[in-house]
Structure 1
Amino acid sequence: MLNLIRNEWMKLLNRPGTYVMAGLLVLAVIASAVIMLFINSTLESSDEMTWQQQLEMQNEQQSMMEDGGQGFMASPEEVIAINEYRLANDLPPNEMNSMWNYLETNAFMISLVGLFAIVVASGIVAGEFSWGTIKLLMIRPIARWKILLSKFITVATFGLSLVGILVVLSLIMGAIFFDAGSAVHLTYENGVVQESSIIAYLAKIYFYSSIDVIMLTTMAFMISAVFRNSSLAIGISLFLYFIGGTVTGFVGMYFDWAKYSLFANTNLAMYEMGPILIEGMTLTFSVVMILLYFILFMVLAFTVFTKRDIAA
């Protein structure tokens, strides 16, 4: 198995596109730092209020709003409670020029990692059929499921490698160009403001953001194995990747059964940042649904790949 995985990695590293994807990710991280530094320089020249004055003004604005927060906005009660806690305990919020804010902002780049992983997953099986190299794999005395598993592990480790590059480079850029900021993260639960580590919070955000990528990559891998068509796998996966969550959210406004959709459950960050997409959903429910879909995709991929005859 290790030899199979090593061979798949050798194939991957021999493709120029692999280095192009890694290079684009590095450029995106650097570009985000440049953009934030530019924004910070603009804000610093125009903002003369202290952070205490800013929070007090925000509380006044929130107190005039209707209670209950809508959409992705926190409720006025939550905002006011957290702001008052900061004022009472002298805990300034992390500004735009803090390392932690930069790291949180860069979490959206996991979507870029997802695009790259989907492209690799879509071609790693279908490409063998397109190039005719699948026959060379099949004549070897190795079980088909081992060949497919090695390809999936390669895709998974490739995606994790890109996430690792994103995290490490973001930490380096954040430490060099941004202030340390506060390592305290505040949450509002059951009417009480609680302190937690911002490192643990960011780790959850990065992990939760990766779930959507993992599931769409698995779907692309399944389509590639079942239909042997990389273009189809890329097209379907990217289409669902961009509109699946939006459509599910719209349907969920009217029908409770939408909570059983894959895209209603992949955004686990909603349990950390809110709001819950459909009332009644829990973290345990979403994890179970994700596991069921993952098993379904893998069973389809392995069943079809191991049973279907290789075309001449």
Structure 2
Amino acid sequence: MISLIKNEWMKIFSKVSAYIFIGFLLVALVGSAILVKTMNNADDWKAKEENNIQSQQAVLDDPKTSEEEKEWIQEDIARSQKLLDTGINPNQETSWTFMVNWVTSIASFVTLFAVIICSASVSAEFSDGTIKQLLIRPHRRWKVLLSKYITTLLYAATMVVVLSVAGYLVGLIFFGSASFTDKMIDPTSFEEVITLEAGPYFFELMLFWVPGFLIIITMAFMLSTLFKSQAIAVGISVFILFASSTLNMLITSLVERYEWLKFVLFPHIDLRRYIMESAPMFEGATVGLSLGVLAAYYVLFIAITFIVFNKKDISI
């Protein structure tokens, strides 16, 4: 098995795309840091909030202001005052806030690149006509397939590690060191002012991202065994990846009418919603339910993958 994994690992890195994907992550990190460094003006945040309170108070005291406008203005004033009370600069970028704000966002490219690698893993053998040479070796089919799956997971894990380590180093270089437990303002809290510890929050976000990431690349790997054409396998996988957010919104809007939609995959892929949003996706949604749904689909995808591959006609 180890020799098979080594062979598959060499196959991945024999392609220029494997290096391009990792290089793109590094360029994206540096580009993001330069953009933030150029545009971020964090020095006068207190003055801005104080000026906002004064200007909004003047509008609030204006007799022409409607009651509806007053309610919104009072909330805006309260938010500015809460920011001042915390003493935490909401625009301050440090190595750990950069990890929270940018590394977690760039992780979506890791998903895309991993999907491309996984969906081409088996289908490329059929497209290139090398599947027969692969299976005439003294290894059972399931071992060959498992080695491919493990190797694609290892490459995906490598990209995650590169992204995380490089992200921290880029943040360190551009924004300086910061304590792991330094406070930051929750970037997703618009009405309330919620303070978080930046380092633990980053790892929490990544931990909640991993299950959905694993499901997506497993689904892409399954599609790679279902289609002999590499182009079709990659195309369908990428389409599903980009369409998942739209399907998620559609399913969430209909789940009250059709309760069985609670068990459809797409609303459960991104578990970060449980820590980034105050309200659940739908009534009854819990982390336990989402993990259970993801586990069920994972078993289903793995079963289909190995059953289909073991019975697949390898004639070219």
Provide TM-score, normalisation by structure 2: 0.82
In structure 2, do the counterparts of structure 1 residues 63 and 159 end up closer, same or farther at CA, with 3 Å as the change threshold? farther
Maintained 8 Å contact 2:88/2:185: no
Structure 2: how far apart are the matches of 1:151 and 1:176? 37
Maintained 8 Å contact 2:94/2:172: no
Structure 2: how far apart are the matches of 1:129 and 1:215? 24
Maintained 8 Å contact 1:249/1:277: no
User: How far apart are 1:102 and its partner, in Å?
Assistant: 1.3
Structure 1: how far apart are the matches of 2:8 and 2:54? 57
Maintained 8 Å contact 1:94/1:101: no
Q: 1:235 matched to which residue of 2?
A: 235
Q: Deviations over 1:62-84 (max 9, x none)?
A: 983399xxxxxxxx69x968974
Q: 2:121 matched to which residue of 1?
A: 124
Residue 36 of structure 1 aligns with an amino acid whose one-letter code is: V
User: How far apart are 1:124 and its partner, in Å?
Assistant: 0.9
Mapping of residues 24-173 of structure 1, within 5 Å: 24-40=24-40, 43-44=41-42, 47=44, 49-50=46-47, 53=50, 64-65=71-72, 84=82, 90-106=86-102, 107-173=104-170
Maintained 8 Å contact 1:266/1:290: yes
Residue 183 of structure 2 aligns with an amino acid whose one-letter code is: V
In structure 2, do the counterparts of structure 1 residues 53 and 162 end up closer, same or farther at CA, with 3 Å as the change threshold? same
Helix, strand or coil at the partner of 2:35:
helix
Maintained 8 Å contact 1:225/1:301: yes
Total equivalences in the alignment: 295
Q: Deviations over 1:92-128 (max 9, x none)?
A: 1452432222111221111111111111111110111
Structure 2: how far apart are the matches of 1:163 and 1:54? 42
**Stretches of structure 1 lacking an aligned partner (at least 5 in a row):** 68-75, 188-192
Maintained 8 Å contact 2:45/2:91: no
Maintained 8 Å contact 1:94/1:100: no
Q: 2:173 matched to which residue of 1?
A: 176
Q: 2:65 matched to which residue of 1?
A: none
Residue identity (%): 30
Structure 2: how far apart are the matches of 1:54 and 1:213? 44
Structure 2: how far apart are the matches of 1:293 and 1:26? 32
Maintained 8 Å contact 1:55/1:83: no
Deviates more, 1:238-247 or 1:148-157: 238-247
Residue among 267, 272, 275 paired with 1:269:
272
User: How far apart are 1:210 and its partner, in Å?
Assistant: 3.6
Q: 1:208 matched to which residue of 2?
A: 208
Q: 1:190 matched to which residue of 2?
A: none
Maintained 8 Å contact 1:271/1:283: yes
Residue 267 of structure 1 aligns with an amino acid whose one-letter code is: D
In structure 2, do the counterparts of structure 1 residues 57 and 255 end up closer, same or farther at CA, with 3 Å as the change threshold? farther
Structure 1: how far apart are the matches of 2:100 and 2:54? 25
In structure 2, do the counterparts of structure 1 residues 58 and 291 end up closer, same or farther at CA, with 3 Å as the change threshold? farther
Maintained 8 Å contact 1:110/1:163: yes
Provide TM-score, normalisation by structure 1: 0.83
Maintained 8 Å contact 1:185/1:201: no
Residue 270 of structure 1 aligns with an amino acid whose one-letter code is: R
Structure 2: how far apart are the matches of 1:196 and 1:273? 12
User: How far apart are 1:44 and its partner, in Å?
Assistant: 4.8
Rg larger for: 2
User: How far apart are 1:23 and its partner, in Å?
Assistant: 1.0
In structure 2, do the counterparts of structure 1 residues 291 and 81 end up closer, same or farther at CA, with 3 Å as the change threshold? farther
